[in-house]
Amino acid sequence: MVKKRLIPCLDVRDGRTVKGIQFEGLRDAGDPVELAARYAREGADELVFLDITATNQRRQPLTELVRDIARVLDIPFTVGGGISTVADVEALLLNGADKVSINSAALARPEFISELARRFGSQCVVVAVDARLVEGEWQVMTRAGTTPTGREAVAWCREVAALGAGEILLTSMSHDGTKSGFAIDLTRAVCKAVTVPVIASGGAGQAADFIEVFEKSGADAALAASIFHFNETALPALKEYLFAHGISVRR
């Protein structure tokens, strides 16, 4: 049986880890290098780093910070934010990233997904999908969740998988930071629509939320930030809890 993965996420602004609610009201959560080292020690299965202002500021990702984080890791490392060219991806991989996460660039030019998959392999390409529930429909947002695209989330996930994405990072903006639990219906619909792994993101507030998303949606992994950053839930304890409830996790 494929084991479920637990993935802390470092949302980084101005060199610091931050976290808010529904992408707003950000507060400082600590030094990203120190947090990365801690999560590697505690048994995180992977780590995601998102440079959350790179796209809107129209700049490249923080490659020096990526390199510093990669040096303290011995787990798979995904980097996103501001990636728009093949050269951006090459720079991140050379500085220690194992995978890259693209969002706005994929929406602006979907063929970019296929270009990266051909150049680096699908296993290297994660497409991040930020979705917000609008009048009963899950709409895809872009530019750090600030701009609606008019695309329906499940249909977009199906398209990116067909274009060569190796994994989908699915975030419910409606749940992000609320600690009300993951968007089960959305995550389940996407998991049924694609054959690539899906990472559920947005809404984790307690250990039971992880059981629910794994049992009810079919997600391959669950990503969280604030409950880990602010020591509300420790990774080792969460893994023991999941294992005790029949969820197959790496221990």
Judge contact between 144 and 20, C-beta under 8 A: no
Catalytic residue (choose from 130, 176, 209, 220): 130
Catalytic residue (choose from 11, 51, 176, 209): 11
Q: Which residue has the tokens 């060569």?
A: 164
Q: 160 in helix, strand or coil? A: helix
Q: Is 28 a catalytic residue?
A: no
| Helix, strand, coil content of the chain in percent (nearest 5) | 35, 30, 35
Region for residue 196 given its phi and psi (left: phi exceeds 0; alpha: psi -120 to 50; beta: otherwise) = beta
Q: Is 220 a catalytic residue?
A: no
How many other CB atoms are there within 10 angstroms of residue 155's CB atom? 11
Q: Which residue has the tokens 């030094």?
A: 31
Give the catalytic positions in this structure: 11, 130
